[in-house]
Amino acid sequence: MRRFLSAAALAADIRAGRRKAAEVVEERLADIARRNALSNAFTEVTAARARAEAAAVDAKLAAGQDPGPMAGVPVAVKNLFDLAGLTTLAGAKIERDSPPAAADAFLVQRLRQAGAVMLGALNMDEYAYGFTTENEHYGPCRNPHGRERMAGGSSGGSAVAVADGLVPVTLGSDTNGSIRVPASLCGIWGLKPTYGRLSRRGSFLFAASFDHLGPFARDVADLALAYNALQGDDPQDRAQQWRGVEPVSAVAEIAGLRIAVADDHFARNGHAEAFAAVEAVARALGVTRRVTIPDAALGRAAAFLITMAEGANLHLPNLRRRAGDFDRATRDRFLAGALLPAHWVQQAQRLRAAYQAKALRLFNEVDVILAPATPYVAPRIGQDMIEVDGQSIPVRPNLGVYTQPISCIGLPVIAAPIAEPARIGTPEGLPIGVQLIAAPWKEASLFRLAAHLEKLGVCAAPEPKA
């Protein structure tokens, strides 16, 4: 059985002097050198930086100083986060010509202030536009539960690095599902906080009105540790809606939480294992109530159009000058976005606003809604089509069928992995997850429920096969 690092336990050992941060870094660097070729999770390993940061943690402890709650914890980030001295690739060939980042992204700074040690940058879909991390420039990211399987995306490298045990905590981004989809397919925990909760300064955006940043981990305690470290006021990020630090914990306490299962859109459009996962969680909680998130399918359609338009607008200069240097799948979707009629996009924004108002009213009646995270387990790398409800549909866009309606209105979500996927009948025992969805700014409710599900044994990160 593989030994997985716990960030919380590791930080406690280092702070207590039972381990040295430098020793942990050398172990991680050796493991990444040995096993990254299996997954293609890392696109850059920052060995010199990691050694220097680990030495600084050990020096602080030797001097009787507190290095922070994540003392010596090895971390890595999706390669759209700025790391000082490195070029921020955002999964693209085009960005190789950009100058190195002058400073770390704000969230990277927060991790460092908490004592974490940065090990490098992680693979992703080009410009975060995808759900599979099949990157034409840097190669596909491979799922630890089956190396021929997709990792999900666009934060595929971030999910795989945690699922494979290379590092205990990573950061990703989520526009339409890019944290929750790979978390589900790789069988780990992922958090998409409320839109505007965390600063995005120093990250390469995709669709600014949708983009969220958040952490991945193998257990709820580590997810909470990372999220608490990431919270902080950034006056330079005008999109951040600062409300003060609201610490969360992994205390399993759900008394008073009103929980329901999403039906309608979220009870079709997928394979049996997606719905079996939700029912397994509902059964463990004794939840029988069903609610309809009204107009979810329309909200998803609006998300498609707005994402295409905002992404195309951002990349229009390079689409004109360097179209041949894009990943072909990304380029074609950006070109389509550049050609959208303005009145379509405007109507999509109106629909999005009306849908958001209807969805938010649901939280007068419930606190947390359960829904599938992905419509099926990880497809095979290179698979273009899949059969759902008797129809052959494209694999890539439909991985976000359940995540897009939630992210386009900014709700906080934890993706919770089913502990024993084989018991609910997933093909080949592959992982799948469930979305725990709350009203804006109610992350604490999600953590309470996540910790309870973990305590019950219904949700936990399954051990990879490969």
Active centre residues (catalytic): 78, 154, 178
Alpha helices in 270-341 (DSSP H): 272-285, 296-321, 328-338
How many angstroms separate the first and last alpha carbons of the chain? 11
How much of the chain is in helix, strand and coil states, percent to nearest 5?
Answer: 40, 15, 40
Phi (first) and psi of residue 246, to 5 degrees: -125, 90
Q: How far apart are CA 77 and CA 133, in angstroms?
A: 15
Give the number of residues written for the chain: 466
At 438, the amino acid letter reads A
Tokens 């539960």, residue? 145
At 98, the amino acid letter reads S
Q: How many helices (H) and strands (E) does the chain have?
A: 14, 17
Helices 443-456 & 272-285 angle (0-180, nearest 10): 90
At 244, the amino acid letter reads G
- Cα atoms in the 13 Å half-sphere on the side-chain side of 459: 35
Q: How far apart are CA 81 and CA 101, in angstroms?
A: 9
Q: How far apart are CA 387 and CA 190, in angstroms?
A: 27
Which of 245, 243, 212 has its CA nearest to residue 231?
245
Q: How far apart are CA 345 and CA 255, in angstroms?
A: 43
Instruction: Give the angle subtended at the CA of 308 by the CAs of 307 and 309, to the nearest 5°.
Output: 95
Q: How far apart are CA 184 and CA 152, in angstroms?
A: 8
Strand partners, 435: 371, 415
Q: How far apart are CA 414 and CA 416, in angstroms?
A: 6
Q: How far apart are CA 132 and CA 135, in angstroms?
A: 8
Q: What is residue 81's DSSP assignment?
A: B
